[in-house]
Structure 1
Amino acid sequence: MNLDKLKRWAAALKQNIFALYLASRDPLTPILAKSVIVLTIGYALSPIDLIPDFIPVIGYLDDLLLLPGGIWLAIRLIPARVWQGCKARAETESFTLPKSRGAAVVVALLWLLLCAWVFYWWLAT
């Protein structure tokens, strides 16, 4: 994969995240789709990854699999007419992605729960 192709993929990813944000605010979007959108956007905007990037290979796999997978699932759950309108709007409007402190707290809590579980398991054995 060359650098230009990677840049186009990243730009499309950012645009899809913005389109998902717009779809989450549309009243015709089902609740299940909105839930998946909130989780996906929250993860995308979180400054803390589920698997930290400093872990070789695996650290980037979550970004390469979870985020596109969440976007794919959310798009499938959104009605086609709503998605087309939001995607067209995302292409014309500019949007800078803010950092989400709430999502960072959720990811940090997940890590804390995982550490507590491992510690409990270690004590039990």
Structure 2
Amino acid sequence: MLERLKKAAKRLKAELLALGYAARDPRTPWYARAFALLVLAYALSPIDLIPDFIPVLGYLDDLLLLPAGLWLALKLIPPEVMADAHAEAARNPHKLAKSTWGLLLMLVIYAALIVLAWRWWTLR
């Protein structure tokens, strides 16, 4: 069981790396690039939607949201671009690092969501 989880995590990291290469490819449509960058920012941001210290729920976003976002991003990118991105990721399997830009983007998104929720709540 643990070995299977390690393999799944390794596959997820490889897919995220390939997604990073595909997001930089000029053949990728703008909407797919924007969504891919959002998924990468969330994956590389040190801040999660649900903090990991919360029992069970803390890992739920990592187990559900990230794979779902990755799946959708991969569906939006043309197959030939993803094939080239997978080949590039196999040639250059460097480690994904935490991203300061990802952190800033996620903080802006969380702040916007809080403001929208507050406005919705006060307008009721």
- Structure 2 length-normalised TM: 0.85
Query: How far off its partner does 1:111 sit?
Result: 4.6
Q: Which moved more, 1:52-61 or 1:89-98?
A: 89-98
CA contact (8 A) 2:41 2:106 kept: no
Question: Percent identity among equivalent residues?
Answer: 46
Partner of 2:74: 75
Aligned positions, number: 123
Partner of 1:5: 4
CA contact (8 A) 2:41 2:102 kept: yes
Q: Provide runs of 4+ in structure 1 moved above 4 Å.
A: 109-118
Question: How far apart are the structure 2 equivalents of 1:110 and 1:24?
Answer: 20
- Counterpart of 2:49 in 1: which secondary structure? coil
Question: How far apart are the structure 2 equivalents of 1:105 and 1:32?
Answer: 20
- Counterpart of 1:55 in 2: which secondary structure? coil
Question: How far apart are the structure 1 equivalents of 2:84 and 2:114?
Answer: 43
Question: How far apart are the structure 1 equivalents of 2:67 and 2:97?
Answer: 19
Question: How far apart are the structure 2 equivalents of 1:11 and 1:41?
Answer: 16
Question: How far apart are the structure 1 equivalents of 2:114 and 2:15?
Answer: 33
- What's the RMSD between the two structures over aligned residues? 2.2
- Structure 1 79/53 Cα, relative in aligned 2: closer, same or farther at 3 Å? same
Partner of 2:52: 53
Partner of 1:104: 103
- Structure 1 length-normalised TM: 0.85
Q: Which runs of 5+ in 1 are unaligned?
A: none
Question: How far apart are the structure 1 equivalents of 2:54 and 2:108?
Answer: 19
Question: How far apart are the structure 2 equivalents of 1:19 and 1:96?
Answer: 12
Q: Which runs of 5+ in 2 are unaligned?
A: none
- Counterpart of 1:6 in 2: which secondary structure? helix
Q: Give the greater-gyration-radius structure (CA).
A: 1
Question: How far apart are the structure 2 equivalents of 1:115 and 1:36?
Answer: 21
Q: In the alignment, is residue 84 of structure 1 matched against residue 86 of structure 2?
A: no
Query: How far off its partner does 1:105 sit?
Result: 2.6
